Structures are given as structure tokens and as C-alpha cells.
């Protein structure tokens, strides 16, 4: 078990480990491939540069509706949601549809009219709904994302990055209603037969979402998800003329080159710490939860406890003891919450020693 200072470990974790997937040349201006379980980044290309995102905006639109509304609610379509420019599910003023039906129109047919209808129902106005979208972006830590509308029509203040879109998609795919919607290939709504624009649902093993996008200014945008054996990989490309082939190559390579491997199990002893002023001199540190990570066959993971290597008594069994860090080639790739494995009471002498004196050399002893 290697020792590692808390500051150094945090800095390494913030840097993150990036091992590019060797793959055919990617034609996108921006790309990002993320493991949806462990958070490992498999591929990155200009992923933090802001750009127009077209209808991939609707990932956030659908997510906010799924989280804040009952999708079985019915709404009467207002005139403000009829005849919106761009792609459409061809809503008619006065017709009544469920929110779920509108979500299908939003995510399968990329209906800009469905986006406006849902925004009005959920946020009162399009502008009010955009505020909800931006609130959610802030909550998810999407620092390079801002929304001005629910459909993705081009606007200078409406943008995101490949990295932020991947993080958003990974989160959204955890919502069962969202996931069911975007994985649907086709559905009939009244006289409408809607077919999903996402061709990967037919072309790629395990493909289960999420959204296409296109405007002349933005180019072709694609956010995809695929799941195989309890594992999900998210891929994003922006301004990519060969997006279908790029996504198939990137996703297949990520699945083939990396496997999710257990690193530690809940309750596993990760080491011991010295207990200053305790009835016992050391206490075991246990993993508070399971931790797995996507690994290439040649990679090994080390687990290191941070800090100075000691704690002051008392230590309480099951109490939080901070974090251990998972390392690959000396770089932090994840952190594991840890707890004390036993209770270690203070000695009678330590109880009498002022706390500040314990910081001094020999301060735990009477003079």
C-alpha cells in the first residue's frame, strides 16, 4: 500500500486518466467517449471546446420533463407549439396528447414542436423552461453548457461541448423513462408512425440511445449510448460528416479493449492507520462500497490511503474515515469512501492531554 498525500491524490484525480482508444481517424471536429459506469474517458478530441449542439439539446429537454412531470399527464396543444420551424411531429392546435407521446415525438422524430409543447407544459413558457434546463446543467456540473431554447435552434448563447454532452447523456440514461423513450425504434401515436432517427439502434450491438442533431451551422451532431453485459459506453461527436461509422468504431473499440473489473469490495481491508492516543496503536480501514473500473488487460490498479497515516483517538467502527484512491501508473482514477473497521477508545492519559498539545513533538506525553 503506497502512501499518498491528500492534496497530491486530489490533484491527480482532477487531472483524470486519459488513455486514447487506437482507432480509425475520427472525422469529427470534437469527440468524447466515456464509460458510463466508471467514468473513464476512452477517447477525447477537442472535447472542451464550445459549439452549437442542434437537436442534441433535446436530451436535456426530455430529462427535465422526465424528472419534473408525470409523463402520463395529458395536455392540449397550444397554438404556440404549432408550425415551429425545422423538424416536426406535426402537432395540431387543440389536439390532446400525453407527455410520453410528446417525448416520443421529441426524441424519435426530433420534433421542435414537441419541444415547445413540453416546455410550455413544464416551465410555463419557453423562457421559463430554459431556466430549468440551465439549473439542471449547473447541478450536473456542466460548466461549458448554456441553453436558450428547448429544441436546439441555432443561437449564440446556446452551446455545449462534447464532454458536457457525454456527462449529460450518461446521467440521463440512468432515468428509466428517458432510457425507454430513446431506445424505442418506432411507435404509433394515433395516425402518426414515428421512427427513431438514430440508425445505430439497428446497426450496432447493444445500442440503446440517445439523440441526433443537425443544422447547417452546427453540422452533424450525434450522442450515442450502447450497453453490453451490464456496461454502458457513451460517445459524442460534433460536426462529424461520418458520424455513424465513427460511433460504431469508437464504441466497438471501447468495449473490446477494456473490461469492467472489480478493484475492491465493500468491507475489504485496504490498510491500517496509526491511532494517536488510542488504546490500540492501529485501526483497520475498510472500503465502504464496491469499486470497479474499466481496465485494459495489461493494466493494474493500486489502492492508496491518503493523509498523514494516522488519526487521533477515538476511532469509531463504521464511521467515515475519508477516501482511498485507485491509481493506475501513479495517476488517480477514482476514489473509494472508507470507514474505520473497529472502535479504538482514547487512553485515560490522552483524555487529559489538551488537543493542541498533541500536535507538538511528544505532545501526547505529560512533562
All cell numbers assigned to 213: 442533431
- 180 in active site: no
Q: 275 forms bridges with which residues in the sheet? A: 311
- 110 in active site: yes
Angstrom distance (rounded) from CA 153 to CA 87: 10
Q: Which one of the listed residues 38, 87, 109, 110 is annotated catalytic?
A: 110
Q: Which one of the listed residues 38, 58, 167, 254 is annotated catalytic?
A: 58
Q: Helix crossing, 126-139 with 58-68: angle to 10°?
A: 90
8 Å CB contact between 209 and 59: no
Show the CA angle centred on residue 287, arms to residues 340 and 37, nearest 5°.
150
- 155 in active site: no
Catalytic residues: 55, 58, 110
Amino acid at each position: 500500500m503506497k502512501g499518498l498525500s491528500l492534496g497530491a491524490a486530489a490533484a491527480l484525480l482532477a487531472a483524470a486518466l486519459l488513455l486514447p482508444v487506437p482507432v480509425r481517424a475520427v472525422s469529427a471536429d470534437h469527440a468524447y467517449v466515456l464509460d458510463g459506469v466508471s467514468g473513464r474517458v476512452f477517447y477525447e478530441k477537442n472535447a472542451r471546446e464550445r459549439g452549437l449542439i442542434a437537436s442534441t439539446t433535446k436530451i436535456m429537454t426530455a430529462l427535465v420533463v422526465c424528472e419534473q412531470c408525470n409523463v402520463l399527464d395529458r395536455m392540449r396543444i397550444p397554438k404556440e407549439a404549432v408550425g415551429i420551424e425545422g423538424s416536426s411531429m406535426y402537432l395540431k392546435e387543440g389536439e390532446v396528447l400525453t407527455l410520453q407521446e410528446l417525448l416520443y415525438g421529441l426524441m424519435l422524430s426530433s420534433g421542435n414542436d414537441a419541444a415547445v409543447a413540453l416546455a410550455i407544459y413544464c416551465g410555463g413558457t419557453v423562457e421559463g423552461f430554459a431556466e430549468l434546463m440551465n439549473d439542471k446543467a449547473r447541478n450536473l456540473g456542466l460548466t461549458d453548457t448554456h441553453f436558450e431554447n428547448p429544441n436546439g435552434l441555432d443561437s449564440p448563447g446556446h452551446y455545449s461541448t462534447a464532454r458536457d454532452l457525454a456527462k449529460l447523456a450518461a446521467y440521463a440514461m440512468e432515468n428509466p423513462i428517458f432510457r425507454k423513450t430513446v431506445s424505442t425504434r418506432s411507435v404509433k401515436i394515433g395516425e402518426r408512425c414515428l421512427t427513431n432517427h438514430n440508425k445505430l439502434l439497428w446497426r450496432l450491438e447493444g445500442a440503446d440511445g440517445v439523440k441526433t442533431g443537425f443544422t447547417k451551422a452546427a453540422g452533424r451532431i450525434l450522442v450515442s449510448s450502447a450497453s453490453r453485459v451490464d456496461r454502458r459506453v457513451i460517445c459524442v461527436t460534433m460536426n462529424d460528416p461520418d458520424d455513424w461509422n465513427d460511433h460504431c468504431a469508437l464504441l466497438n473499440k471501447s468495449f473490446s479493449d477494456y473490461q469492467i473489473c472489480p478493484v475492491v469490495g465493500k468491507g475489504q481491508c485496504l490498510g491500517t492507520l496509526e491511532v494517536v492516543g488510542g488504546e490500540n496503536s492501529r485501526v483497520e480501514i475498510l472500503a465502504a462500497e464496491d469499486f470497479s473500473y474499466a481496465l485494459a488487460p495489461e493494466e493494474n490498479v493500486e489502492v492508496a490511503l491518503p493523509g498523514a497515516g494516522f488519526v487521533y483517538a477515538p476511532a469509531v467502527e463504521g464511521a467515515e474515515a475519508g477516501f482511498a484512491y485507485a491509481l493506475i501508473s501513479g495517476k488517480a482514477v477514482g476514489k473509494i469512501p472508507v470507514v474505520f473497521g473497529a472502535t479504538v477508545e482514547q487512553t485515560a492519559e490522552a483524555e487529559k492531554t489538551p488537543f493542541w498539545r498533541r500536535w507538538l513533538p511528544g505532545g501526547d506525553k505529560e512533562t
